[in-house]
Amino acid sequence: MSKVSPDKPVPDFELAATNGRTIKLSALKGHNVVLYFYPKDATSGCTLEAVAFSNFQLKFKRLNTVVLGVSRDSLKSHENFRRKHALKFDLLSDESEKVCKLFSVMKMKSMYGRKYRGIERSTFLIDTDGVLRAEWRKVAVKGHVDEVLMAIKILN
């Protein structure tokens, strides 16, 4: 499977999601899709980001946009995270890193001098035809949702 690139169709993929669902990208045609990748459920930055996306869910819906969060966490972890913070969108589990690799979000990171592979916080905007229209890498959580909403308004 080839990697994604701006202004090109995103290859179709399918992942297990919360609420016992399976999400297939091609089934979302006709909607914009915000696909955001985050390192880990229930960590401070990831919780702030998820809650921010959830708080603006009505605005995303009005803009014909589906928001999906993706990490390598298990569905059980996702369900607990989603329930605890009353998130209003589905979380996708990519334990195999198939979609993470497609979007090239797996990076070498370091914490307290220890190096490890992890997800680089990133967001992708896919238009109603399945074409990648915008990407944000090395995302800083504060103000990010506003940037994404503005990009969708411009796209529409």
Classify residue 56: in a domain, yes or no: yes
Residues classed as catalytic: 46
Residue 89 and residue 67 in contact, taking contact as beta carbons nearer than 8 Å = yes
pLDDT digit string (tens) for 6-52? 999 999 999 999 999 999 999 999 999 999 999 999 998 899 999 99
Burial letters for 120-148: b for 16+ Cβ neighbours within 10 Å, e otherwise? bbbbbbbbbebebbbbbeebebeebbeeb
Classify residue 85: in a domain, yes or no: yes
pLDDT digit string (tens) for 47-102? 999 999 999 999 999 999 999 999 999 999 999 999 999 999 999 999 999 999 99
> What is the domain range of residue 29?
14-155
E strand residue ranges, the chain: 14-17, 22-24, 32-37, 65-71, 90-93, 106-111, 114-119, 122-126, 132-136
Classify residue 2: in a domain, yes or no: no
Classify residue 9: in a domain, yes or no: no
Residue 113 in tokens: 């001098």
Classify residue 113: in a domain, yes or no: yes
Q: Which residues pair with 17 in a beta bridge?
A: 92
* Angle of the 144-155 helix axis to the 44-55 helix axis, nearest 10: 40
CATH number (domain holding residue 51): 3.40.30.10
DSSP reduced 3-state for 32 = strand
Q: How many domains does the chain have?
A: 1
Cα(151)–Cα(59) distance, integer angstroms: 13
Per-residue pLDDT, 2? 65
